[in-house]
Chain A
Amino acid sequence: MGQKRPRCSLHPYFNCPLLFLLGLPFLLKSIEIYRSPLPFRDIDSLSTATESSPLLFPCGFQAVFVGFDHRTSSKFNADELGFSILGHMRKLTESNLVCGTCGNNYTVSVALDSNTGCVRNQKVKSACSWQCGALTDFNLDDNLKDDEVFDEYLESVLVGGERCSNLGGKVYTVVVVNRDEEVKAVVGKHRHAWIIGRVSEADAVEKIAEIFVNIFVNGGKEEGLIHGEFMPVGADGRVVLSFNLLNADPRDWIYDWDFQTIDEILLAPIIEALGAVANISVESQVLYHTPKSSFSYWDDKRGSYIFSTKDLPFFVNSNEWHLDTSIAAGGRSKILQVVVYIPSAKECPLLLQLPNGDVSMTNGFISPMWGGVIVWNPPGCMRDSESMHPLKHKISAQDLQKVFEVFMGQFRQLFGLKSDNLYVGSTGTSILLASDRGFTEWELDVLSRQHTCFNLLSCATTLGSLSRLVQSLPRMIIMDEIGKQVKFSLKAAQLAQSNASLGIYDASTVSSRQARSLAEDAFFHPSIMSVSYYSFEHCFAVYSPFFLPVSLHVLLAVVREWRRYRQEMKKYLAWTTKRR
């Protein structure tokens, strides 16, 4: 009997698993899930675009020099003045290209208007430029005293500039009037400012550059104010202003307000003005038995109760102040609470002490992204006699007016603007005129630029997270609706970007808001969260009772076969050596 070289024959035992492998595509087909295709590449390009290059808007600046004697300063022609302003502005902006500003994407035109002639640098179209001699008709001596009147007059003169501002961004103007008086810089309610007084051209140029960059472009913000990232606008582009009148203890006195009138007369124009930035709705309620949760102490010197800034975190009593979320508001709207707090008789008058020891003049404070609190002390703090049933008072119109002014300041601060009317810069102080709509035109421009930028950033990050999430979970179901929302969001974002580059501020703000809201809708779509997907863990749990024992059998067979092979091999080797 001749020995053969042994063969390890395993193939019949693996035919079975092979059959299973053949069936695997059918299995996978049966557990396949629906995924709407998402435009990942577009999302990535949007993210990279917003991250790498901040969104910059085109702006136009115009400086008008009135009443400068050109014979003495003949070396300055219009072009040189323009270059000089440009140089100063570059110095102020070069440090950072902040998103939502004009960056370096602006033009400066200069007009010299004097008795001897009218000089312009040639860059600007004639329709948009300053009409020379416009101020000669105007009686400067009388009317310069009243800033409001001059502001309106300038507006009527500059209406031509307004007409062409849609072509390549808004045009901001500074008029310098050389007169024999104290230097005064005023920023108007529209898109212009003026400097009047004994001012040299060099000083004027510096000041003009500062007004352009720090006020018209950056909104006159200082360090320490609320940063642009804290935009008090909900993800769906809506803001609910919830006004609350809190009577701390109605047993002492009950105050009521006529909110209907506030809503109709004072709030309506503000809401309209901010229409591009946010869709604002207003609601109000009066609450009773709502004590504050911090303590105050009696101060003899001031004859009042004092609470300090250290107590502010504990002032809002979330147990008793049920400033509910609104049913009328959608799920992702931002609710800004405005609380008017009327202290009880045992802590009246209640005053807020600032860290420097002074008493706050507004007697209120804000909490960014939450809202503001205003403490209003009833006149005289007198209890209504000794009767058990206090009378119902109405807050008088004048008091309400004051409260509303404080609110307006707080509201502006919540939006990141200055609440007072002075701007202190390196070249001196400027007066900022306030609009009766609460926000001046140039402030609205600033807001819409910033909000466009923020909305686009937020849209890009949301879509980026969505695409990362979707790619990291390959077995997640994605509904068609999500795909549609993402598509529309991207489209709106593109529209916002193109509008921004054309300088159409309002339209770009509106479409950026849409883009953000659609992106959030897609990210928080209920189907993303709730649909339980058929996971591989599940697969494993179902099929392991079969594959585990089978693989055990296969392994045992392999081990046995291997052992036999070695034995036979040994024998075979022994046989071959013996034969040799």
Chain B
Amino acid sequence: MRPSMALLRSIILFFLICFASDSIGKEEQEEEFSEELLLRPLPDRKVLAYFHFESRVPPTDTYGRHHHLFPKAIYQLVHKFRVREMEMSFTQGRWNYERWGGYDPISSSNAKPPGVELWAVFDVPQHQIDASWKNLTHTLSGLFCASINFLESSTTYSSPDWGFQPSLGNSRYGTLPREAVCTENLTPWLKLLPCRDKAGLSALMDRPSIYRGFYHSQRLRLTSAEFDSVGMNSGIVLEQTLTVVLQPSTLGTGTMYSSGSSLQPSWSISSLFGRKVSGKCVLAKSSNVYVQLESGLVSELKNLWKENERSEADILAFEGSWANSGFELSVVPDKVIKEASSLGKGGPSFLYEFLIKNYNDSKPFDLGFTWKFPIYWSCLQAPLHASRFLMGSGNERGAIAISLKPSQQSGDFYSVDINEDNCRLRVDVFQVVPWYVKVYYHTLRVFVNEQLQSLADVVERMHVSPSEDKVSPGLMEMVLKLPCGVKSAALTIEFDKGFLHIDEYPPDANQGFDIPSAVVSFPDFQSSMHFLGDNFLNNSPMLSKLQERSPVLSYTEVLLVPLTTPDFSMPYNVITITCTVFALYFGSLLNALRRRVGEEERRLKSKAAKKTGRLHLLLSKLSAKLRGRPWEPPQSPPSSSSSSLVSSKLILKVILVAGIAAGWQYYFG
């Protein structure tokens, strides 16, 4: 190859001029990427690790369509399907709302139903939404090596009106509860990060470690303002989070304390993930690790501090320090961030911030967290704990029940005005039911404190779009207003189990059919944290995300409904048995037609005259033996030679059959 194609000098000049002017004009808007990790000890001896990656790109109008950090695939996806907002999650395991918390922003936005959940808002005319949704699911399924394309089937997706996320038009929501999540889904997800898992915090994602956890949820959310004609155009924001709950291995810390309780397991980043952080991803604008102490834990620590009879001044000092009696961090944090204590949430929580940019290969970051005393605390929980179950038996009908029970702390939330009659707790319920479960919405009943209530008293607003066979699933959105001091509440709704066409059964039909999780949200309660001071917020997208106000949200269990499944070989059985009956009929008909009655009678007569049959001979022999008398041959004695010949033939035959059977057993058995 030789140097090729000298281009005109003028072109070069023009190019240079453009280059210079462009570089001046583009100072303000840049693509950004940031990576953050939040670690939080959980009350049940586990540790929550929450990875948060965010990529931003300025709008196309001002920035152009060529990018340097932002993943090309996502940009093309947004533009091809005109996606305004989209969220997809792959989850394995179920979030334990009672032990891991249900009120904080992380659990509200990252606790997801098992399997795949996808919702998207499109910027296309109403009649094109379904087509866009189907194409989007196919694209995503190719992009993430998952069978998301099954979300195009009419049983799995619906168009929520207002119950799922407020003020979303043109949206679609679908779940696949049975999708198995594994590393083939994580790898393409990591490919969207500029450093993938080669450097930075994502290098911690050792596959065996993170899939060993109790809960694993990888989430991708993108918000685009590309198609907004008016207002602030913020471009596309891609938020990728990975939430894992891990069990730290207890390494011989068997010290028992006087109370008989054992110490919480101490952990470090290397013991949790099997790796250390060796420097940040060089492309990230910020790369931080946080350790969060929940408010419950903080107040417990304070009590411990008080027990040791420290002065008030010491307690104040505690709040700003990282070294205290309850636990020890192996690395000095760069900053301590305190949450503004808000009403109804107990005390403040603390965040210890570590900047990864100070670490490198020779000095890897390995945070250790060592407990000194056994401490027990509980997480902040949603005002009501929701669970869902099936009622009834048999393959014909049943009922779905959603039960809401106040969590232990819920008294705190509305202790102020608990006595007022007009205090009401708003609960939104969003439920999608596939069309093969035929729900009778008129059978909806609501029980409050185990008393049947009339719907008008409790249900403030309800939107039902009944299911249509093979077209759309049933959708129920409703707003409940429960009295504040409610002891228990339950919703029941009855259904008939439908029959499917033989083609519509999945390969493992006998396993049962899933009813996706219902979403229960509490719009009166906002899960957001308020941090004191605001200078750090600019450089931490995760913290600003945690400060965003969003309603407390929880998902119920996935239900498994066993439907009547046919015997799938039945059509062939029916064919075979009918054909056999027909063949029998045909055979007898043929015999009857063929028979020449006169001729056969003649022949029979002559045969009877000749001799008795061999069967008759054998029978007489047998009866003689049974009676114990010596056998007498029938009247016409056959020659002995022939009888012996017959018996020897018989014996030969029996031996032959036995031999074949033995051979068969030997070779094939």
Contacts and interface: CB of A to CB of B under 8 A. Distances in A.
Interface in A123-144: none
A362 B72 contact: no
Given A389-B282, A419-B2, A557-B590, A260 B191 contact: no
Given A362-B3, A389-B357, A409-B4, A261 B283 contact: no
Interface string B45-89: 000000000000000000011111101110011011000000000
Interface residues of A, number: 66
B18 A324 contact: no
Interface stretch (A28-36, A447-455, A521-529, A545-553): A545-553
Nearest to B582: A546
22 contacts: A16-B586, A16-B590, A251-B282, A263-B66, A266-B15, A283-B66, A284-B66, A285-B67, A365-B1, A389-B282, A397-B15, A397-B19, A405-B7, A409-B2, A421-B4, A434-B5, A434-B6, A545-B583, A546-B578, A550-B583, A553-B586, A557-B591
B659 interface: no
Interface string B19-50: 10011000000000000000000000000000
A545 B580 contact: yes
Contact of B587 (A326, A394, A553): A553
Contacts of B586: 16, 549-550, 553
B23 A288 contact: no
A483 interface: no
A91 to B, nearest CB: 30
Contact of B6 (A405, A419, A545): A405
A285 B579 CA distance: 66
Looking at B12, B66, B76, the one whose CB has the most chain A CB atoms below 10 A away is: B66
A116 interface: no
Given A397-B16, A405-B6, 17 more contacts: A13-B594, A16-B589, A261-B15, A261-B18, A263-B66, A283-B65, A285-B67, A288-B194, A324-B73, A327-B76, A388-B279, A409-B3, A421-B5, A434-B6, A434-B7, A549-B580, A550-B587
A240 to B, nearest CB: 11
Nearest to A284: B66
Nearest to B21: A261
Given A324-B72, A550-B586, A361 B2 contact: yes
A261 B18 CA distance: 7
Interface string A54-88: 00000000000000000000000000000000000
Contacts of A328: 76, 79-80
Report whether over half of chain B's contact residues are helix, strand or loop; otherwise say mixed: helix
A541 B569 CA distance: 13
4 A-B pairs with the lowest CB-CB distances in the bound complex, closest first: A409-B4, A549-B583, A546-B579, A545-B579
Contact of B73 (A12, A258, A327, A389): A327
Nearest to A269: B11
Contact of A542 (B4, B5, B575): B575
A422 to B, nearest CB: 9
Contact of A361 (B3, B12, B18, B72): B3
B5 A289 contact: no
B594 to A, nearest CB: 5
A265 B15 contact: yes
B453 interface: no
Nearest to A551: B583
B360 A388 contact: yes
Contact of A322 (B6, B18, B191): B191
A301 to B, nearest CB: 22
Contacts of B625: none
B283 to A, nearest CB: 6
A141 B321 CA distance: 89
Interface residues of B, number: 59
A264 B199 CA distance: 34
A190 to B, nearest CB: 16
A265 B7 CA distance: 12
Contact of A286 (B68, B582, B587): B68
B184 to A, nearest CB: 14
Contacts of A545: 575-576, 579-580, 583
Interface of B: 1-8, 11-12, 14-16, 18-19, 22-23, 64-69, 71-73, 76-77, 79-80, 139, 143, 191, 194-196, 198-199, 279, 282-283, 357, 360, 572, 575-576, 578-580, 582-584, 586-587, 589-591, 593-594
B594 A557 contact: yes
Interface of A: 12-13, 16, 250-251, 254, 256, 258-261, 263-266, 283-289, 322, 324, 326-328, 360-362, 364-365, 388-390, 394, 397-398, 401, 404-406, 408-410, 412-413, 419-421, 434, 436, 438, 541-543, 545-546, 548-550, 553-554, 557, 560-561
Contacts of A12: 593-594
B59 to A, nearest CB: 14
B587 A405 contact: no
Contacts of A438: 5
A289 B199 contact: yes
B7 A436 contact: yes
Looking at B1, B12, B16, B586, the one whose CB has the most chain A CB atoms below 10 A away is: B1
Contacts of A327: 73, 76-77, 80, 139, 143
B11 A265 contact: yes
B14 A265 contact: yes
Contact of A394 (B14, B23, B191, B282): B23
Contacts of A421: 4-5
A258 B22 contact: yes
Given A419-B1, A420-B2, A550-B583, A289 B15 contact: no
Nearest to B63: A260
B17 to A, nearest CB: 10
A365 B8 CA distance: 24
A16 B72 CA distance: 71
A389 B283 CA distance: 9
A409 B590 contact: no
A543 B199 CA distance: 65
B633 to A, nearest CB: 31
A59 B196 CA distance: 56
A242 B578 CA distance: 63
B157 to A, nearest CB: 21
A222 B380 CA distance: 77
Contacts of A388: 279, 357, 360
Contact of A288 (B195, B580, B582, B590): B195
Contacts of B282: 250-251, 254, 389-390
B66 A260 contact: yes
A148 to B, nearest CB: 9
Contacts of A419: 1-2, 4-5
A358 B481 CA distance: 82
Nearest to B200: A289
Nearest to A291: B198
B11 A436 contact: yes
Given A254-B283, A256-B68, A412 B19 contact: no
A284 B76 CA distance: 11
Contacts of A286: 67-69
Looking at A260, A288, A364, A420, the one whose CB has the most chain B CB atoms below 10 A away is: A288
Given A327-B73, A438-B5, A258 B19 contact: yes
Contacts of A541: 572
A241 to B, nearest CB: 12
Nearest to A435: B5
A390 B282 CA distance: 7
Contacts of B194: 287-288
Nearest to B360: A388
